[in-house]
């Protein structure tokens, strides 16, 4: 939990930025990556020990440029957290939704896959090498308003399972962070009464990492009803409840 060099994509807001600040407080070197250069510079200026690098996860060339910069300037990198993503509602009867679906797949599924493909080789042989993917409780019980978002997060869950299996022989631990609804800017959820306050979520996540560092899935209490709905026989009830929101 300390003494690491951690790169967080999507680190300029929400869960990504919150994790960056919490890990910096724990005594780690933290690199945040995102599209907005001015915001990266502002966050770095206000948080000594957090460094910003430009990254567009939709652009393979940008990902490769990030890899080259990390290799040159942060060769001790041993932790990658893929927190970048978008969430937008879709009406599946409206042909215009297709552009939203394609953008969501690019950012939420292809983005992490491309980023991990580029950076995972840099972690081989590093002490405590770790990749943390970020899926969602909606990977397990979907929200009707966001069909493609749900699908990408389900894809990240499946990808994480196999990534863990394949990278284990190389000494890279793979954890999957599975958030519930959290009060962030994602789809305007800052004021959502049913969403978990961001600071509360971050505190519980950090406690889990301290207490159970070998957990394959990082599950706060609020997400467990979604994660285990199928096993507990409550899937249909929760799916209907989500559809009413």
Is the alpha carbon torsion for 200, 202, 204, 210 positive or negative?
A: negative
pTM beyond 0.85: yes
List of residues 6+ apart from 154 with CB closer than 8 A: 135, 139, 140, 142
Count: domains in the chain: 1
Q: Which residues form the domain of 140?
A: 5-243
Q: Please give the positions annotated as active site.
A: 149
User: Each residue of 99-147: pLDDT tens digit?
Assistant: 999 999 999 999 999 999 999 999 999 999 999 999 999 999 999 999 9
Q: What is the pLDDT of residue 189?
A: 54
3 state SS of 176: strand
In 10-88, which residue ranges form alpha helices assigned H by DSSP? 14-25, 37-46, 60-73
Q: What is the CATH number of the domain that holds 178?
A: 3.40.50.720
Q: Is 96 helix (H, G, I), strand (E, B) or coil?
A: coil
């Amino acid at each position: 939990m300390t003494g690491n060099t951690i790169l967080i994509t999507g680190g300029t807001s929400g869960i990504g930025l919150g994790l960056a600040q919490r890990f910096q407080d724990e005594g780690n070197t933290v690199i945040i990556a995102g599209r907005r250069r001015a915001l990266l510079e502002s966050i770095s200026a206000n948080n000594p020990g957090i460094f910003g690098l430009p990254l567009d996860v939709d652009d393979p060339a940008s990902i490769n440029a990030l890899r080259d910069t990390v290799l040159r300037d942060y060769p001790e990198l041993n932790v990658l957290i893929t927190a970048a993503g978008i969430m937008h509602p879709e009406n599946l009867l409206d042909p215009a939704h297709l552009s939203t679906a394609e953008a969501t797949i690019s950012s939420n599924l292809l983005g992490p896959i491309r980023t991990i493909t580029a950076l995972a080789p840099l972690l081989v042989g590093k002490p405590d090498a770790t990749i943390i993917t970020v899926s969602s409780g909606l990977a397990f019980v979907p929200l009707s308003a966001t069909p493609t978002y749900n699908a990408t997060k389900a894809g990240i869950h499946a990808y994480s399972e196999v990534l863990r299996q394949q990278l284990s022989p190389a000494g890279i631990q793979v954890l999957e962070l599975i958030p519930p609804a959290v009060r962030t800017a994602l789809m305007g959820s800052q004021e959502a009464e049913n969403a978990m306050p961001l600071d509360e979520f971050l505190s519980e996540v950090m406690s889990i990492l301290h207490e159970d560092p070998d957990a394959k899935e990082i599950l706060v209490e609020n997400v467990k009803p979604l994660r285990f709905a199928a096993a507990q026989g409550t899937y249909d009830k929760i799916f209907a409840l989500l559809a009413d929101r």
